[in-house]
A and B are shown apart, each in its own frame.
Chain A
Amino acid sequence: MKLSQLKIGQTGIIKEFTDLAMSVKLMEMGCLPGEQIKLNRVAPLGCPIAVSVAGYQLSLRKREAATIELF
């Protein structure tokens, strides 16, 4: 399952990344394999999304979220 497929309020655990360039940026921001990630909300126009990860709130686009594979 991908992060972009989570429903609002749902939680997942990060398994791996499907895009190397994106993974470097995401890991710097605390999105690491094994971290719990929760979908908090979706922007009014459907994208980007806001997630809770590593103790703070991060926003990213759906396309970017689709590169995060969850357990």
Chain B
Amino acid sequence: MKSNLKVALLGNPNTGKSTLFNLLTGLNQKIGNFAGVTVDKKSGFCKLPDGQTAEIIDLPGTYSLYPKSADEGIVLEILTYKDNPSFPDLIIVVLDATNLKRNLLLYTQIADLQIPVIIALNMIDLADKSSIKIDINVLAKRLNVPIVALAARKNIGITEIKKAILHRSTIALQNPTIAVESIAPELIAKIGLELKIKNPYIALHTVHQHHNLKHLNKSQHLLIEDVKKQYHFHAQKAQAAETIARYNYINDVLADTVKYPAIALEENISNKIDHLLTHKVWGLVIFLAILSAIFQSIFSWASYPMQLIENAFVGLESISHSYLPKGALTNLLVDGVLAGLSGVFVFIPQIALLFAFIAVLEDTGYMARVTFMMDKLMRKVGLNGKSVVPLIGGLACAVPSIMSTRTIENWKNRIITIMVTPLVSCSARLPIYTLLIALVVPNKYVLGIINLQGLVLMAMYVLSMLMAIVVAWVMKKIIRSREQGYFIMELPVYRMPRWHNVGITMYESVKSFVTQAGKVIIAIAIILWVLASYGPGNTFNTIDNKYHSLAFKNIGVDEINKQKAAEKLEHSYAGVLGKSIEPAIKPLGFDWKIGIALITSFAAREVFVGTMATLYSVDGDDTKTEPVRHKMAQARNAQTGQLVFTTATAFSLMIFYAFAMQCMSTMAVVYRETKNIKWPIIQFVYMLLLAYGCSFLVYQVLK
């Protein structure tokens, strides 16, 4: 879709900005990058009443144009530079009607940028309920801005906002708010003259944050530094003076337009819930209970659709084998692509559920309370209360979680959070755990209600969290930083989750998983199939000849085929590769086949199950298709005749997958977020050493 009209959505966090975004754009969303920076650009298209389309850009939530964290910086970059490809024709400022005063601070800053503005006064229903009386007409007149009252959660006011976009003014008509020039008159005049910036507020921000503005060149940076010195510009003092002036203006505006009741009603209900949920004892008990409930439900609820998907693929594979002509292409399609695909699709239920649970925790406001409760503990190990969100998000996927660390203002806290987040067991490890646990842990019940397999699974997750904490503590001792962290955070009132938003989150996460991870997995599945089906030189011919001559002796055809396939696999490229690392992984209890899986899953853990599926489909009977679990359970070491997957090996393997960095996407995102190749390398090495050491211990003890 194309559009010539760009509309930016801006507002404080928790104002319902994303709800409005979702309502305006529906599923017409795409996540891309803002030019030149790593911050995700969320945009979508909206049909206006006259049939034209507007591109809606969702900017990161912020309390002011002075950025405190990495992703807030993008807002100023876009809004102060007309040639930025995302520079909007119109800004919709979303304000929370129940908290107008603090919300208006951002509005007054934006108003002074002199870009056309519309105010979306959201949560008007809650303001009514709390008896906050806002005279919208008078307020609109005072500010000289169109104001649309909204109750986005109830879908009220969406048509009106679309109309307002349609009838927008093409020039900024809003009243100026404060006398910006008076903050630093000579400095603003000088910068305006030198850099040709007409708007005094943009000139002031340019001085303030020039090191964050990528469109400036080196001589301009130097010039700004000189001017700063010349006029003794003290950034913090200027910002403090500006903030106080803005609040004076806001108080003045609000004095005759808004009437507050004695006590805010909703805050009180929220207060009562908080009393329980952040209670000294009950708060922590409830938090743990919620976490374990999430795991139990993921394990039990997801197993049905997963079984269905598994069966569907088994069926598809056997149909393909019986109807497609025999040959290399069919084998590639069935044993390579289909087997790889089933490894991707089988994840979908678990990923969807996990993302849904996390979305609900965020949406209700509970996640902010977890942050509040955990801050002190997290601080002790070099993290921040806000690290809890990426750590819990890490249960789903490290990639978005590492991106969410941008809200952590302190550099050291953020780096440590990024470094330990991949240790948290993500959903890609879940199928590996599930598969290996099903192999070696009996499906029994302890105390009548607790499933033993579920318990072991939970233990793996707890272990991964503990390891993240321990490693964070070690890094806190190693990484030096003088910058002090802080924790100033809004605790939003509790709300019911918006199911529409949760649904969209689920849909988006599954979509990006299938398309992004899927591509890698299928590519690797195909490469792997080739590696497993062909060997160096003419070894395969030799094997064929050897079994051909055997065929005349008194051995069953099935038996011969099986042995032939096994020997072929062993001498294939994959086999050679696996064998070459066998000496290194033998102390961990792994054979060369597991070695192949280790190599292939260094790109992505998801590949493990698919690799096993491919390896055990190649090795064995073409006509019999059964779930990979059964094949693995029967796998025996060719020399010793013992089972490959003993308890010791299975646990050692699980530990290895728990701690090793086997995800290209994570490493790419760590590089993107830290902008230094050093960090992903350190992370890869320390995690590999940790995984090797722990697996070694586990295998040697259990063996």
Interface centre among B63, B284, B376 (most CB of A within 10 A): B376
CB distance from B368 to the nearest CB of A (A): 8
Across the interface, name the chain B residue whose C-beta is closest to A53.
Answer: B102
List residues 49-104 of chain B with CB under 8 A from any CB of chain A.
Answer: 63-64, 66, 68, 98-99, 101-102
Whether B373 sits at the interface, judged by CB under 8 Å, is yes
A1 located at the interface, meaning its Cβ lies under 8 Å from any Cβ of chain B in the complex: no
- Asked whether A61 and B486 contact (CB < 8 A) given A27-B247, A30-B102, the answer is yes
- In the complex, how many angstroms separate the beta carbon of B97 from the nearest chain A beta carbon? 11
B516 at the interface (CB under 8 A from A): no
Contact code string A18-49 (vs B, CB < 8 Å = 1, else 0)? 00111111111110100000001101111110
Task: For the complex, give the distance between the alpha carbons of A52 and B493 in Å.
Answer: 12
Contact of A59 among B68, B239, B240, B489 (CB under 8 A): B489
Shortest CB-to-CB span from A4 to chain B, Å, is 14
Chain A residue at minimum C-beta to C-beta distance from B62: A28
Collect the chain A residues with CB atoms within 8 Å of residue B280's CB.
44
Chain A's nearest CB lies how many Å from the CB of B246?
A: 9
Q: Which residue, B98, B267, B281, has most C-beta atoms of chain A within 10 A?
A: B267
CB distance from B237 to the nearest CB of A (A): 7
Q: Which of B68, B260, B281 contacts A25 (CB 8 A)?
A: B68
Per a CB cutoff under 8 Å, which of A22, A44, A55 touches B373? A44
Q: In chain A, what residue has the closest Cβ to B488?
A: A60
Task: Tell me if A10 counts as interface (CB < 8 A to partner B).
Answer: no
B274 touches A50 (CB 8 A): yes
Question: Quick check: B243 and A58 within 8 Å, CB to CB?
Answer: no
Residues 233-250 of B at the A interface (beta carbon under 8 Å): 236-237, 239-240, 243-244, 247
Q: Which residue of A lies closest to B371 (CB)?
A: A59
Q: Is B385 an interface residue when CB atoms closer than 8 A count as contact?
A: yes
Which has the most chain B C-beta neighbours within 10 Å: A23, A25, A47, A50? A25
B490 engages A58 (CB within 8 Å): yes
Contact (Cβ within 8 A) A24 B239? yes
Answer yes or no: B143 CB below 8 A from chain A CBs: no
B642 at the interface (CB under 8 A from A): no
- Bound-state CA distance A40–B270 (Å) is 11
Known: A22-B486, A28-B105, A43-B278. A54 touches B99 (CB 8 A): yes
**In the complex, what distance in Å separates the CA atom of A54 from the CA atom of B99?**
8
Q: Which of B275, B373, B377, B486 has the most CB of A within 10 A?
A: B486
Which B residues are CB-close (under 8 A) to A61? Answer: 375, 486-487
**B106 nearest in chain A by CB position:** A28
- Given A22-B486, A64-B486 in contact, is the A29-B247 Cβ separation under 8 Å? no
- Are A28 and B486 also in contact (CB < 8 A) when A44-B280, A44-B283 are? no
In the complex where A26-B488, A54-B102 touch, is A59 in contact with B372 (Cβ < 8 A)?
A: yes
Q: Please measure, in the bound complex, the distance between the C-alpha atom of A20 and the C-alpha atom of B492, giving whole angstroms.
A: 26
Q: Are B376 and A54 in contact (CB under 8 A)?
A: no
| Residues of chain B lying within 8 A (CB to CB) of residue A20 | 236-237, 240
Contact A48 B372 (CB under 8 A): yes
- Contact between B487 and A60, CB atoms less than 8 A apart: yes
Q: Which residues of chain A have C-beta atoms less than 8 A from B267's C-beta?
A: 52, 55-57
A64 near B278 with CB under 8 A, answer no
B457-490 near A? 1/0 per residue, CB < 8 Å: 0000000000000000000000000000011111
Given A43-B278, A43-B373, A56-B492, 20 additional A-B pairs, CB 8 A: A27-B240, A29-B102, A41-B274, A43-B375, A44-B279, A44-B280, A44-B283, A46-B376, A50-B278, A52-B267, A55-B101, A57-B274, A57-B490, A59-B488, A59-B489, A59-B490, A60-B487, A60-B488, A60-B489, A61-B487
Q: Which residues of A contact B (CB under 8 A)?
A: 20-30, 32, 40-41, 43-48, 50, 52, 54-61, 64
State the B residues within 8 Å of A (CB).
63-64, 66, 68, 98-99, 101-102, 105, 236-237, 239-240, 243-244, 247, 260, 264, 267, 270-271, 274-275, 278-281, 283-284, 368, 372-373, 375-377, 385, 486-493
